[in-house]
Structure 1
Amino acid sequence: MNPHDDPSFYDRVGEANGWDFSRLRCVTEGAAWDFYDEVAKCCRPSVLLLDIGTGGAEALISAAGAALLCVGIDRSPAMVRTAERNVSRSGRTNIRILPMEAGRLTFPGGFFDVVSCRHSEFSAKEAYRVLTKGGRFLTQQVAESDKRNLKMALGRGQHFDDKPGTLRMRLEAELEEVGFVEVQAYEYDAAEYYAEEEDLVFLLKHTPIVPRYGEEEGDEATLRRFIREYRTPKGIRTNASRLLVTARKL
């Protein structure tokens, strides 16, 4: 399950906390890249950048200095409001935030030099249409093995029944089908350490990693057993599995 599989979940979390995970105490070890660093590497001072599913725009703000103009879109009115506040506070004058569905982009064809999308749905056809010739597309998604020990303990979760590589093959096929070339995929599996039980509970209640966490009998007891088993001096151990796919428009 992804946030876009249940739009009401995305809207509820957006209204509740604006998808703000800054209070989450978590350390990641072994991440092979930072997505918005990769986005920035594709930019130059004359570039127009589109960020699909921008959320609160915190990450887009971090990359904005690499482009001439950045446009962040999101389907959730709550997220658009949050992003606008964050952009205003940042002092960045080259970012615009718009409410928009990823599958129905209202921009003219060939308008953007770079299109990015992190942990959100996108339309390969629409991304291709709005890119300039030679433009780059980048997406990072949560891979099948993410939080595998936590999902195994609770008996359900995002991509729970999917074989590793399923998402990668699907995205590669979708991008190639609409005409993208140089489609390349990369994966990493990093260790994550959560400070305390409340950090894991916050994660589970505000992400779709385990659908309906807390609504099924035994969830809380299972989580407590999980914490006892996986607590380490660094924190409560699980993993972050990420997929990066890049492509170019001919």
Structure 2
Amino acid sequence: MTKSFYDKVARKFGGYSYGTNKPKYNTEFPDGIPEEDFKNHLLSLSGKDKIALDVGCGDCRFAFGISDNFKEIIGIDTSTELLKIAKSKQKKLKNTNVKILEMNADKLTFSNNYFDVAFSRRGPTPYKEVFRVLKPGGHFVIIEIGEKDTMGLKKVFGRGQGYGNWDNSVSEKEKNLAINAGFKTSFVKEYFYDEYYETYEDLDLFLQGVPIFPDFDPEKDKPLFEKYVDKFLTQKGINLPRHRVVFVLQK
């Protein structure tokens, strides 16, 4: 996703979390909670003597939340606006062990064998570069968006992130890229779950802040949006099926 999209989201919502006006929804997880599993895998590899790389750190909200488990976390991103927010949050939190840098993930400026752990939360996965900067035996922990994520929504709109790639397995593609870069696969799991948005306005707000449709326009897209709501409205709310993949790789 482009730098300009995340800069726009940062200016509009004051970060990558919608500020104080968050969309309301409930989630049903039949096979475990992917974000929790991702975090647990990462923390199992943490240590007060370890340095971690956050690839695509955004506003560093996640990094700040786990920083006590590491000696240092270095977060990199290309969104100038999100990094400004990250630095502002850091001052308020009085955090001292997260280093925030504007950097292209495909051109890391770190030396070889520098990091103990690297992680990416739905961000870039530059396998060759991460492999280079990890120490021997180091791990790369990833949570990625699956190919069937919000498939029904994208079909109604006729566009969207990964549109039409429903049969191209993200887990297989990413696993092959990682292996070709030199990694061994320690863990791979796919998660299918459902979100139920309370109102039309809640789902509309959600779509304004995520890159499912980078060009989403509440007014221009209103007819398509209403068509989706009519089709996926349930007693639990407006259903949005999701798909995630968690990987743990080792150098």
Gap runs ≥5 in structure 2: none
Q: How does 1:177-188 map to 2 (within 5 A)?
A: 177-188=180-191
Cα distance in 1 between the residues matched to 2:52 and 2:231: 44
CA distance in 1, matches of 2:245, 2:202: 24
2:67 equivalent among 44, 64, 76: 64
Following superposition, the deviation at residue 215 of structure 1 comes to: 8.0
Over the aligned positions, Cα root-mean-square deviation in angstroms equals: 2.0
Equivalent residue for 2:239? 237
Measure, in 2, the Cα distance between the counterparts of 1:196 and 1:180: 44
Q: Is the 8 A contact 1:176 1:183 kept in 2?
A: no
1:202-217 equivalent positions in 2, closer than 5 A? 202-214=205-217
Partner of 2:143: 140
Runs of 4+ in 1 over 4 A off after TM superposition: none
Inter-partner Cα distance in structure 1 for 2:78 and 2:49: 27
CA distance in 2, matches of 1:159, 1:185: 20
Q: Which runs of structure 2 are paired with 1:181-196 in the superposition (5 Å)?
A: 181-196=184-199
Any conservation in 2 of the 1:193–1:238 contact (CA below 8 Å)?
A: yes
User: Is 1:173 equivalent to 2:176 in the alignment?
Assistant: yes
CA contact (8 A) 1:39 1:63 kept: no
Give a deviation string over 1:5-31, Cα, whole Å, max 9, x none.
x33223322333222235222222204
1: CA distance between counterparts of 2:56 and 2:123?
5
Partner of 1:15: 11
Contact 1:175 1:183 in 2 (8 A): no
Instruction: Work out the CA distance in 2 between the residues paired with 1:24 and 1:60.
Output: 23
Residue identity opposite 1:10 in structure 2: Y
Structure 1 residues without counterparts, runs of 5 or longer: none
Q: Is the aligned partner of 1:152 residue 2:133?
A: no
Q: How does the TM-score come out when normalised to structure 1?
A: 0.89
Spell out, residue by residue over 1:191-236, the C-alpha distance to the aligned partner (whole angstroms, 9 max, x if none).
101122122112222222134223895x312212322332334321
Residues of 1 paired with 2:198 and 2:45: CA distance? Answer: 35
Q: Secondary structure at the match of 2:49?
A: coil
Bigger mean CA deviation after superposition, 235-244 or 48-57 = 235-244
**Contact conserved, 1:144 with 1:158, CA < 8 A, in 2?**
no
How far, CA to CA, are the matches of 1:148 and 1:66 in structure 2? Answer: 36
State the one-letter code of the partner of 1:232.
T
**2:6 partner amino acid:** Y
Corresponding letter in the other structure for 2:119: S
Helix, strand or coil: the match of 2:95? coil
What CA deviation, in whole Å up to 9, does each residue of 1:156-208 have, x standing for no partner? 22212113453222211111112111353211011101122122112222222
Equivalent residues of 1:36, 1:62 under 8 A apart:
no
Distance 1:11 1:25 in 2: 24
Q: Secondary structure at the match of 1:78?
A: helix
**Contact 1:193 / 1:235 at 8 angstroms: preserved in 2?**
yes
Letter in 1 for 2:25: C
- Matched residue SS, 2:43: helix
Q: How many residues align?
A: 244
Cα 1:174/1:205, change in 2 over 3 Å: same
